[in-house]
Amino acid sequence: MTTDEEELEHDAWVAATEEATSRAAGARRVVASADVDAAVVAVPERADVPSRVEVGSPVARSRVVSFHVDEEPGGTGTADLLWYDVTELEAVRALLAT
């Protein structure tokens, strides 16, 4: 069975939203998606989530391509997340300020 890059990206996004759920405790989850160079990405020795990686350097804002933010605080499902293009950073900030 082959898995294409788009499917891997989706799996990583779903895993990130689930991990954010366990840490949010009633707050809005924010998941940022970014394109990073493979050279700075490593798979941890004990990855309990198959798509989990560690990024070995700070991610520049210019590498961020989108944000996913809960419409209401305390969301738990992927359907609860609103999608924002990176150009909508001010709208994301405004939503988080409410």
pLDDT at 40 over 70: yes
pLDDT at 24 over 70: no
Taking only the tens place, the pLDDT of each residue in 51-88 is 778 899 999 999 999 999 999 888 888 888 999 999 99
The larger pLDDT score, comparing residue 21 to residue 28, is at 28
End-to-end CA distance of the chain: 45
Nearest to residue 32, comparing CAs of 59, 72, 66?
66
- Rounded to 5 degrees, φ, ψ at 5 are -60, -40
State the average pLDDT over residues 44-52.
73
What pLDDT sits at residue 47? Answer: 65
CA atoms of 34 and 59, how far apart (whole Å): 8
Report which residue type is found at 40: V
Question: Could you tell me what percentage of the chain is helix, strand and coil, using 3-state DSSP and rounding each to the nearest 5?
Answer: 40, 20, 35
User: What pairs with residue 82 in β-bridges?
Assistant: 69
pLDDT at 2 over 70: no
DSSP class of residue 94? H
